[in-house]
Structure 1
Amino acid sequence: MRVTSVSIALALAALSISTSLYGQRPDDQIDARSMALVERAKTARAAGNLNGANDLLETALVVDPRNREAFKQLAEIARVQQLPGKSIRFYREALTIEPNDVAALRGQGEAMVQKGALGRARENLAKIRTLCGKEAECAAATTLAAAIAKGPPVTATAQQTVVPPPPAN
């Protein structure tokens, strides 16, 4: 009697899991409407309309939350707006969808440099170099290495001001 109820429960669990997996789209099939919104957002961004581009990208993600390109574009807009933490978060979302996206790793690394997290940026550089393999010139690795070498931008609060000593009497 106990075996029957357990086997029925397992059968129902297997049925519900297989049904939910059957209804999902493969990762590489992004809704065409979402891709069209990303293209419109790129045009708006090129025209200097960052807020309009941001709205279009958010709409693209509502249409299809698996649109990795929309996350990467949102991250780029955040970097331009000097919001490296937000940019890192959007790149993390893109990397959740595809962990081996070299462009997202490079962008996240550059945002980490902008924020001052050089150690984590170096981790991204090492992963990019691993993914590039034997390619002697990996553009993403070269770009990120240059950003790391340059270091984080100097902000007004980080600059040291030297106050001259008062004159001796």
Structure 2
Amino acid sequence: MPHIFAYMLFGLLGLVSMALDPAMAAGTEEATEVDADYTKAKAKIAAEDYAGALPLLDQLTASQPENADAWNLRGYANRKLGNMDVAAASYTTALTLNPGHLGALEYQGEMFVELGQTDAAKANLKKLQDLCGDCEQAEDLAEAIGVSG
């Protein structure tokens, strides 16, 4: 009888360790690789290497179509490169997946400013303020619009 409890304890410890390590729980290294690609893409964007980030982001959005963060960064990189149609579609996808995505609301709003669509940008600002008050994203968008937050 004591052996059963030992097996149960080892099984429980195994489950806990998998919960603490998502890559292990998935049974593959794909989760770690995806995180690494996302991290690489963010680093390229931080270095203003938008063209270098796009292949990583295209790959991420293809392999993880439900990843609103990847769609948002894909929109950002495309906007910075002047690909407004692709940027708009990417932001729309990010916001369809997560309507309260603060980054996508800010960046889409900044795109609206660049396109001269001030009313749409102000609508995004209102959504941000409703979601997070005077958070960084709302302040940055207000500044881009040229209004006080």
Same fold (TM over 0.5): yes
Gaps of 5+ in 2: 1-25
1:57-68 aligned within 5 A: 57-68=57-68
Aligned position for 1:111: 111
Question: Pairwise mapping of residues 87-106 of structure 1 onto structure 2 (< 5 A)?
Answer: 87-106=87-106
Q: Residues 129 and 78 from structure 1, CA distance in 2 versus in 1: closer, same or farther, beyond 3 angstroms?
A: same
Would you identify which runs of 4 or more consecutive aligned residues in structure 1 move more than 6 Å?
A: none
Q: Judge conservation of contact 1:31–1:64 (CA < 8 Å) in 2.
A: no
Work out whether residues 88 and 112 of structure 1, in 8 Å CA contact, stay in contact via their aligned partners in 2: no
CA contact (8 A) 1:33 1:60 kept: no
Q: Percent identity, aligned pairs only? A: 31
Query: How much does 1:82 deviate?
Result: 2.2
Q: Within 5 Å, which residues of 2 pair with 1:17-96?
A: 31-96=31-96
> Residue 8 of structure 2 aligns with which residue?
none
Indicate whether 1:148 and 2:140 are aligned. no
Over 3 Å counting, the alpha-carbon distance change for 1:148 and 1:45 in structure 2 is closer
Tell me if the contact between 1:106 and 1:128 (Cα under 8 Å) persists in the aligned partners: yes
CA contact (8 A) 1:41 1:54 kept: yes
Instruction: Identify if the C-alpha distance between structure 1 residues 36 and 131 changes in structure 2 by more than 3 Å, giving closer, same or farther.
Output: same
Give the structure with the larger helix fraction: 2
Residues 73-111 of structure 1: per-residue CA shift (max 9 Å, x gap): 111111211233322221111111110111110110001
TM-score (normalised: structure 1): 0.62
**Structure-1 separation of matches of 2:140 and 2:47:** 25
Question: Which one-letter code corresponds to 1:149 in the other structure?
Answer: G
CA distance in 1, matches of 2:123, 2:141: 11
What is the identity, as a one-letter code, of the residue corresponding to 1:33? E
Whether the 8 Å contact between 2:50 and 2:78 is mirrored in structure 1 is: no
1:59 Cα deviation from its structure 2 partner:
0.9
Separation (CA, whole Å) in 2 of partners of 1:46 and 1:138: 21
Query: What's the counterpart of residue 129 of structure 2?
Result: 129
Cα 1:122/1:34, change in 2 over 3 Å: same
> 1:31 deviation in Å?
4.2
Root-mean-square deviation (Å): 2.3
Post-superposition shift, 1:63? 1.7
- CA offsets per residue over residues 7-58 of structure 1, 9 Å max, x none? xxxxxxxxxxxxxxxxxxxxxx994433222112223344554333211111
Bigger Rg, which one: 1
**Which sections of structure 1, spanning at least 5 residues, go unmatched?**
1-28, 151-169
